[in-house]
Structure 1
Amino acid sequence: MTGSAADRLRRLRWALTALFTTMNILGLVAFAWWIIRDDARQGEIQTDADLYRVTSVMSRQVIYNTTVNFSLVNTDDLNNGCPQFAIMPGGAPSFKAHLSKKECVPMDNAVLSGLAADAVRTGLVTGYQKSSRGGLVRVRAERLLNPDRRPIGAVVAVTDMGPVQDDHERLVLFVIGGCVVLVVGLGLAGHVLSGRAIRPAAAALQQQEVLLAETAHDLRTPVAALRALAETALQNPTSRADLLPRTVDLAVRMGGIIDSLLVRARLAAGVEQLAIQPVWLDQLVSGVVENTPADGAQVTVTAAPTKVDVDPTLIQRAIGNLLDNALRYGRQPGATAIVHITVRAGTVTVADHGPGIDATLAEAAFDRFSSTGGSSGLGLSVVRWAAEAHGGTLSVYNAVEGGAIFELRLPVSGP
């Protein structure tokens, strides 16, 4: 299979949608076929029941002594309604045929006589015929017997199938239309469900791609500098003593970058969980400052006792990134960096005396791949991610007298 992993996931989503929709289509087709067939069968059963009622009643109403008497037939309500019927000799001893008074559907008498003849011969005939106008009719011909159990004729009942067919066709259209709507709805539902099914894989893939991009982006510069130092050391053996500390610093910086990326990736992927616990924020910040080389910079801390619920390792890294960002970029050209850190009520404020941040680019300063005024995109994005992971926030603005101010707000522990 060709294409990127994201393309393969998209194709997988469409494949899952197609599979889900196809399975539902097969089920709906089977269900629709059963409904349509059952409706047709029920319509036929109901029609045959009406015809049977006519033929059975009329068979009992015919009086036979030596001749056929229709006096009871003429007074029966069925003689004036539908289904219509005819009582005919059908090849038996001849008598004058009787036709019901109401013609519900035009029928050729020859057809009725032929049905009566078949019934006299076989006992019972049911099926479909054509009316004089070509319409479909349902017929039932039942043999008449005299007291000696000999055939004397047959009762032929006929009903128009037009209304039944119309009802059936309406049901077919309704079922087909309903199935189409259901297929569309189920297809959309399948697409949504398949999207949810592959969402964890897509999220993991996105995290992997971001991790790779971040690693390549942030290691590119130190790797290039490390190579330049190594080449310089090879070309100038006398300078190796001066270049070695710078090489070590670059290696340490690269290790910190990789550690930050791995911690973020493992937490985002759920491999590790935040170890939330009550922490004295002022003490944690003081410890970070003490363990961070100032390289001649002036770093002051004003802290009030503040207890917060955080993962101490992750917050140490976030505050270290803010301090490192201020030490690297929070200075005027040729001047010593001056950084002041304030800790109060769950908020860590890091202020520098650098050129500040363009207000229009302040939000972009937290973007993973942005670099405003030379700041590290990764460092600030990790700080913001750590703040959000704890339910806090990270904001930045410029001081009136100059310099950038970063505020990291964290949830304060309850009493």
Structure 2
Amino acid sequence: MTRSSADRLRRLRLLMTLLVTVVNAAVLIVLAVLVIGADADRREQDLDAGLQVVTSSVLRLIRDDGRGEISTAAVAADELNDRCPGFAVLPGGPGQFKGFVSDGGGCPGVATANLEVQVQAAVKSGTQLRGFTTATDGGALRFRVEPFRQGGRYVGGVIAVADASVSEAEHDRLTLLVIGGCVLLIGALGLAGHVLSGRAIRPAAAALEQQEVLLAETAHDLRTPVAALRALAETALRNPAERADLLPRTVALASRMGGIIDGLLVRARLAAGVDQLAVQPVWLDQLVAGVVEDTPAGGASVTVTTAPCKVLVDPALIQRAIGNLLDNALRYGRQPDQQAVVQVIVANGRVTVADHGPGVDSALADAAFDRFGTGGSSSGLGLSIVRWVAQAHGGTLSAYNAEEGGAIFELALPVVPGGA
């Protein structure tokens, strides 16, 4: 199904919202990754700073016993031995010296084999090592290894370990908060973008929709007179003797088409805010009587009952609205194989047009006023024009069924005080 220009513009709004949301999401995701990464680095640095204090202090306590052996006696006697973080002084290879593991009361336990692997790697590379390992209870531990020399070569290392589970739990909470905040912010930015793009596009969409309505109404209103004009021209071509009689009718149809075009242009200018309604006091009964008199009935029975009343309206637009109501009743307000019977009543600023057709389906009564909608005796677009004229004047258009059958359309307009 072909989309209208206004529909395509509204679809563009969704694409703009999606684009803005995707761009914002990408930026927020990058920021979230940077924030989470920075937090992880900061927490590791905090743990490493505490571990460095321990390893540096222990290194100063390691002695050479004078026989070429490593002594950890001073380490065992120091208060660091009873505090967390726990540590160990381990050889870089078998048979070098006897290792020492701190008491570390209350510190997370870790397998000595895991510590030996890390110390041997640091001794082999001759550099400090940092990383994570697993405690005996399955928790996360942060370790730091500083190798030390004896006789010009690395022979062992001091490794300190600290409980990282609390830091990791706090980091996980921060990660969830950042992710949740990003999701909420992306949703809020998407909603804001949708609202703002809607406000930006709404005037253009309304203008396109008005343009489409104008084109549709032009085709609707000109279809009948154009067909009649063609029929007259073809008749004149086939019967030259009748041209004198057909010419006045042709001129009248051309004039009617010009009036229709002028009316549509007026509506377009009014809708665009270029012009204002040419409102003036008008005798509604006389205006309606003139419209009925100028409308070909085609053999239908049309009766008019009026009471003098004066209204504040734009005469040209009201003439067109009354003409559409009357045309709607003549076209659709009849039973099969019968001529239409139409009654027009004017009183108290109201124009009532009743017919004896099939009536209006109650389920489609509102749709009867929508452009291109059809329900019962509705001609669709013609009634939408009448409703627009009524609303432009601050009036209303109503439709309902008569008890004895047939549809009733009632146009209510503002009355001049004391003019009824």
Q: Give the one of 235, 249, 252 matched to 1:249.
A: 252
Identical residues among aligned pairs (%) = 53
For structure 2, the 5+ residue unaligned runs are 297-301
Residue 140 of structure 1 contacts residue 158 of structure 1 at CA under 8 Å; is this kept in 2? no
Mapped partners of 1:192, 1:16: distance in 2: 11
**Displacement of 1:302:** 0.9
Partner of 1:264: 267
After superposition, residues 67-86 of structure 1 pair within 5 angstroms as 74=77, 76=79, 78-86=80-88
Give aligned pairs, total: 392
Determine if the alignment matches structure 1 residue 285 to structure 2 residue 284: yes
Q: Provide the residue aligned with 1:101 in structure 2.
A: 103
Q: Aligned pair in 2 of structure 1 residues 348, 11: CA closer, same or farther (>3 Å)?
A: closer
Q: Distance in 1 between matches of 2:64 and 2:334?
A: 130
Report 1:165-204 matches (<5 A). Answer: 197-204=200-207
Is 1:139 the counterpart of 2:144? The answer is yes
Counterpart Cα distance in 2 of 1:323 and 1:252: 19
Output the amino acid matched with 1:285. L
Deviations 1:273-313 (A, max 9, x none): 54486x54xx342552475472697655313566x5x6565
CA offsets per residue over residues 232-288 of structure 1, 9 Å max, x none?
1122222112112221222233223323333334434x24354486x54xx342552
Residues 215 and 261, structure 1, Cα contact 8 Å, conserved in 2: yes
Amino acid aligned to 1:35:
V
Contact 2:330–2:340 (CA under 8 A) maintained in structure 1: no
User: What residue identity is the alignment partner of 2:306?
Assistant: V
Map residues 300-319 of structure 1 onto 2, 5 A cutoff: 300-304=305-309, 314-315=317-318, 317-319=320-322
- 2 CA distance for matches of 1:377 and 1:3? 20
Q: Which runs of 5+ in 1 are unaligned?
A: 145-150
Equivalent residues of 1:357, 1:404 under 8 A apart: yes
The one-letter code of the counterpart of 1:242 is: D
Contact preservation (8 Å) 2:345, 2:353: yes
Q: Which letter maps to 1:27?
A: V
TM-score by length of 2: 0.68
- Distance (Å, rounded) in 2 between the aligned partners of 1:219 and 1:300: 29
Question: How far does residue 41 in structure 1 lie from its aligned partner after superposition?
Answer: 0.5
What is the deviation of 1:97?
5.2
Residue matched to 1:29: 29
CA pair 328-87 structure 1, distance change in 2 beyond 3 A = closer
2:299 aligns to what? none
TM-score by length of 1: 0.68
Q: Is the 8 A contact 2:143 2:161 kept in 1?
A: yes
User: Given that residues 367 and 381 in structure 1 are in contact (C-alpha distance below 8 angstroms), is that contact kept between their aligned partners in structure 2?
Assistant: yes
Q: Does 1:384 align with 2:383?
A: no
Deviates more, 1:383-392 or 1:356-365: 356-365
Work out the CA distance in 2 between the residues paired with 1:201 and 1:72: 82
Task: Find the counterpart in structure 2 of residue 394 from structure 1.
Answer: 397
Q: How many Å apart are 1:45 and its aligned residue?
A: 0.9
Q: 1:309-363 deviations in whole A, cap 9, x for unaligned?
A: x656544543454467678988997899764421x2xx313356x5356143783
Match of 2:361 in 1: 360
Aligned 8 A contact 2:133 2:141 in 1: yes
Specify whether residues 180 and 156 from structure 1 end up closer, same or farther in structure 2 by C-alpha distance, changes over 3 A only. Answer: same
